[in-house]
Amino acid sequence: MIIDNSKVKAHLSNLKSQLNEGLKEIEELIEKECSMQNPNDLEKVESAIINKTDKLASLILSCKIQESLSSDHELKQESSNLIRSFPKKMKNQGIRDVEICPLKGEPFIVKTEYFTQKAKKDKRKKKEPAVIHP
């Protein structure tokens, strides 16, 4: 099966632009002056920092994983060997979205080749159900 890598490249480009946006949000958060007069103010600032940094961590991780899946020839060879060594035949379903849930941060999507077991063909003829007429 010929795989169209243009979708993967476009996805990686999109992830990188989201990463740059995330970095800008962190820079804005650092530069923003905020006075904390009470525990609620502190909690709001802390929550904003945690949310932005978790989002940034997920974006960095998604870019690194997508780059690895896209360019690592050794990884592709290992996955090819694994597919061939599997006792049942596997079918390449093409490029699919796969969601990854990291330990910390938001879940994210990477695009990669997706394999499933080939469906068995039922060689037996299906019998018509018996119809009883009263």
Q: pLDDT (tens digit, 9 = 90+) per residue, 86-132?
A: 888 888 888 899 999 998 888 999 998 888 887 776 666 666 665 66
pTM: 0.72
Count structural domains, the chain: 1
Buried b (16+ CB within 10 A) or exposed e, 58-67: bbebbbebbe
Q: Domain for residue 60, yes or no?
A: yes
Q: Domain for residue 99, yes or no?
A: yes
- Residue closest to 60 by CA, chosen among 1, 16, 99, 123: 16
Q: Domain for residue 52, yes or no?
A: yes
Q: Domain for residue 122, yes or no?
A: no
Q: Domain for residue 124, yes or no?
A: no
Q: Which two tokens stand for residue 124?
A: 């037996």
**Domain range enclosing 61:** 6-31+38-117
